[in-house]
Amino acid sequence: MKKKFKVLALFDAVRPTTIDQDLSKEMKTEDWKTEANVLTALRTLGHTEEHLAIFDDLDLLRQKLATFQPDVIFNLADQFKNNRGFDQNIVSFLEMQGVPFTGCSATGLVLCKHKGISKKILHYHRIHVPNFVVIPRGQRVVRPKQQLKFPILVKPVKEEASYGISQASFVETDEQFRERAAFIHESHDADVIAEEYIEGRELYVGLMGNSRLKVFPIRELVFREVPPDEPKIATYRAKWDEEYRKRWGLQNRFAEGLEPALVARIEGTCRRIYRLLTIDGYARIDLRLTPKNEIYFIEANPNPILAEDEDFAQAAGKAGLPYPQLIDHIIRQGMNTLRD
């Protein structure tokens, strides 16, 4: 039988918590689906599990580590004080504690979080990325006309889960461009990245590993009922609004009809991206595949959503890792990581 571990599942919370907080009500909600799925898997696997949700108090975590003395932390905390930019700081703290943890190290999180920095690194290594500019808050919004051609997507430079992305993010005139950038600056209090819009299929590739990588079967978001000349964007509503998804025929499924040679090229590109951005643990890489089969990098997501029904776990399942085994793999890999 495989060795069992003491696993501390670490969550974030949107309001202050206590060390022995009862989270059973939250666990039944959609927002806590990933946490609930992971806890169920830990029990199925026979590990000794305890959990803790933190809001803004790292002392709780220190106490928990002292009393429970886990072998490994299953890290699902990706915000602190309601700020999703602090995921990297939590992981930096874990690194300093010297307790093994699952998922990506701080450097990988930092590089991937900034959609400009990750693209600069990849562009240097000749991976296709959309032309882009970063426009910080407080800077006048002008489009560098030579570098950036319409249509353009205007996004917050450091967000996740399509926060701040709607159909209005897709702009075709300088006026729309200025308006949307000002909206992100002001209403989202965020710096902007404006990228040339890459027309093509929307592909998601799951990878897992540290030194040796597994690449999972490619997923695709299809826009079945969106007319051909309309932009196809995974907006906030496209991800999270079931009714909207139904109306436009949006569906996450396995990518069909890709030639084996193309699949190999996509996998190879994703392996390179994973290493170049110093990702470890597990990640989902978002790509666009143009009608000419050019592969464009859109975004890398270390520690992607791990809910059982999401793309990453679905892809792992198809690769022969049913959910509890996937969770077990992530744990064992977290324990074997040398972090410096």
Binding mask 275-304 for ligand ADP (x = CB under 6 A): -----------x-x---------xx-----
Q: Which stretch binds ligand ADP (CB under 6 A): 37-45, 140-148, 192-200, 270-278?
A: 192-200
Q: 85 to 144, contacts with ligand ADP by CB under 6 A?
A: 115, 130
- Give the separation between CA 101 and CA 258, rounded to whole angstroms: 36
Q: Which stretch binds ligand ADP (CB under 6 A): 32-40, 62-70, 103-111, 159-167?
A: 159-167
Q: 285 to 314, contacts with Mg ion by CB under 5 A?
A: 286, 299
Instruction: Determine if 191 is a binding residue for ligand ADP (CB under 6 A).
Output: no
Take residue 238 and report the two structure tokens written for it. Answer: 């496209």
Spatial neighbors of 130 by CB under 8 A, at least 6 apart, are 119, 195, 196, 197, 198, 296, 298
CB of 184 to ligand ADP, least distance (A): 12
**Nearest residue (CB) to ligand ADP, 13 versus 157:** 157
Q: Is the dihedral of CA 82, 83, 87, 93 positive or negative?
A: negative
Question: Applying CB under 6 A, which of residues 14, 96, 142, 161 lies at the interface with ligand ADP?
Answer: 161
If binding means CB under 6 A, how many residues of this protein chain bind ligand ADP?
Answer: 20
Take residue 280 and report the two structure tokens written for it. Answer: 């470890």
Contact partner, 78, from ligand ADP, Mg ion, none, Cβ < 5-8 Å per class: none
Take residue 98 and report the two structure tokens written for it. Answer: 């010297």
Instruction: Determine if 233 is a binding residue for ligand ADP (CB under 6 A).
Output: yes
Question: Applying CB under 6 A, which of residues 165, 250, 273, 326 lies at the interface with ligand ADP?
Answer: 165
Instruction: Determine if 198 is a binding residue for ligand ADP (CB under 6 A).
Output: yes
CB of 166 to Mg ion, least distance (A): 14
Q: What is the DSSP letter of 193?
A: E
Residue facing Mg ion at closest CB distance? 299
Q: Which stretch binds ligand ADP (CB under 6 A): 8-16, 56-64, 152-160, 302-310?
A: 152-160
β-strands 132-135, 72-76 pairing: unpaired
**Nearest residue (CB) to Mg ion, 61 versus 266:** 266
Q: Which residue has the tokens 């709780």?
A: 60
Q: Residue 230: which region, alpha, beta or left (left: phi > 0; alpha: psi -120 to 50)?
A: beta
**Nearest residue (CB) to Mg ion, 35 versus 286:** 286
**Nearest residue (CB) to Mg ion, 47 versus 288:** 288
Give the three-state DSSP class for 98.
Answer: coil
Q: Residue 128: which region, alpha, beta or left (left: phi > 0; alpha: psi -120 to 50)?
A: beta
**Nearest residue (CB) to ligand ADP, 176 versus 210:** 176
Q: DSSP alpha helices (H): ranges in the chain?
A: 24-27, 33-45, 58-68, 87-97, 106-113, 115-124, 174-187, 236-240, 242-247, 260-276, 311-318, 323-335
Strands ordered across the beta sheet of 152-156: 132-135, 192-196, 152-156, 170-171
Judged by the rule CB under 5 A, the positions of this chain that interact with Mg ion are 286, 299
Residues making contact with ligand ADP (CB under 6 A):
115, 130, 153, 155, 159-163, 165, 195, 197-198, 202, 233-234, 286, 288, 298-299
